[in-house]
Amino acid sequence: MHKMTKLELMLTGKTESHIHWLSNNIGIHHEMLSSFNQLQLAAQSAGIELTIASGFRSFERQLSIWQNKFSGISAIKDTSNQILSTENLSEREKIHAIMLFSALPGASRHHWGCDIDVYAKNLLPAEQPLALEPWEYQASGHFYPLTVWLAEHAKTFGFFFPYDKFRGGVAQEPWHLSYLPLSQHYQQAYTEALLAETLLNTDIQGKALLLQILPELYQRYIINIAEA
Ligand SMILES: [Zn+2]
């Protein structure tokens, strides 16, 4: 195994040296701070309190999400929000079911710090928990004004929606914004070989099959995103 470069560590969530912490648990890429602040201010003047639900996520955090879903500690849901009974699934089906909503550790765009999940704090009804589900962002949902505003303005500040619609890989995520000036660079630098090496060095559930079908997973879930 070769010694990973700084960029490779960053791409796979193994360092947080590029992260500026906005609070205890929300961090974003320090080079994105000014553009994010401008986006947030512009939204504010349109009456929208644009808030980050999830920013940087480490490799370890993503690994624990994976392990919990794979082992059945956390529920795996389908697109109609039903909990899947995993005992009826093959290992391969389980991998695909998890990857609809959760990235492989080492392959989450949240490792990069330039991808964030957002919502509008002031549009969330009192006593309603944030679900981060598409219905909240659709025409009859409480975040619809945010959806409309972002569709018109996000691009001006350098942001785009990599998961704008379902393409057969990751589910639609209308809350997931990516800061293109950084993410296009990271996307280009990221490779299947880097992910393979990362998984090979990880004690992860489903490892043998993951490595075996990695080319298919890479195509279907990782590079299968919207054009910026
Ligand atoms: Zn996200």
- CATH code at position 129: 3.30.1380.10
CB 221 within 8 A of CB 166: no
Residue 30 falls inside a structural domain: yes
Query: 124 C-alpha vs ligand 1 centroid, how far in Å?
Result: 18
**Ion ligand 1 — residues with CB < 5 Å:** 117, 176
Tokens of 195: 């992910």
Query: 28 C-alpha vs ligand 1 centroid, how far in Å?
Result: 12
Residue 226 falls inside a structural domain: no
pTM of full prediction above 0.85: yes
CB 115 within 8 A of CB 109: yes
Residue 164 falls inside a structural domain: yes
Instruction: Give the per-residue pLDDT at 80.
Output: 82
Residue 202 falls inside a structural domain: yes
Domain count within the chain: 1
Alpha carbon distance 11, 6 (integer Å): 9
Query: Tens of pLDDT along 84-119?
Result: 888 888 999 999 999 999 999 999 999 999 999 999
Instruction: Give the per-residue pLDDT at 5.
Output: 96
Query: 184 C-alpha vs ligand 1 centroid, how far in Å?
Result: 16
Instruction: Give the per-residue pLDDT at 65.
Output: 97
Query: Tens of pLDDT along 193-218?
Result: 999 999 999 999 999 999 999 999 99
How does pLDDT run along the chain (228 residues), one tens digit per residue?
688 999 999 999 999 999 999 999 999 999 999 999 999 999 999 999 999 999 999 999 999 999 999 999 998 988 888 888 888 889 999 999 999 999 999 999 999 999 999 999 999 999 999 999 999 999 999 999 999 999 999 999 999 999 999 999 999 999 999 999 999 999 999 999 999 999 999 999 999 999 999 999 999 999 999 998
Alpha carbon distance 65, 67 (integer Å): 6
Query: 118 C-alpha vs ligand 1 centroid, how far in Å?
Result: 8
Distant-in-sequence, close-in-space partners of 77: CB < 8 Å, separation ≥ 6:
83, 84, 101
Pair type for strands 176-179 and 115-120 = antiparallel
Instruction: Give the per-residue pLDDT at 1.
Output: 66
Query: 57 C-alpha vs ligand 1 centroid, how far in Å?
Result: 10
Residue 180 falls inside a structural domain: yes
Query: 121 C-alpha vs ligand 1 centroid, how far in Å?
Result: 17
Residue 177 sits in which domain range?
Answer: 6-221
**Helix 33-45 × helix 144-153 angle, to 10°:** 120
At 39, which helix (H) or strand (E)?
helix 33-45
Taking phi over 0 as left and psi of -120 to 50 as alpha, with beta for the rest, 160 belongs to beta
Residue 175 falls inside a structural domain: yes
Tokens of 160: 């785009």
50-62 b/e with 16+ CB inside 10 Å = b?
bbbebbbbbbebb
Residue 82 falls inside a structural domain: yes
Query: 87 C-alpha vs ligand 1 centroid, how far in Å?
Result: 28
Query: 193 C-alpha vs ligand 1 centroid, how far in Å?
Result: 23
Residue 117 falls inside a structural domain: yes
Query: 4 C-alpha vs ligand 1 centroid, how far in Å?
Result: 25
Query: 116 C-alpha vs ligand 1 centroid, how far in Å?
Result: 6
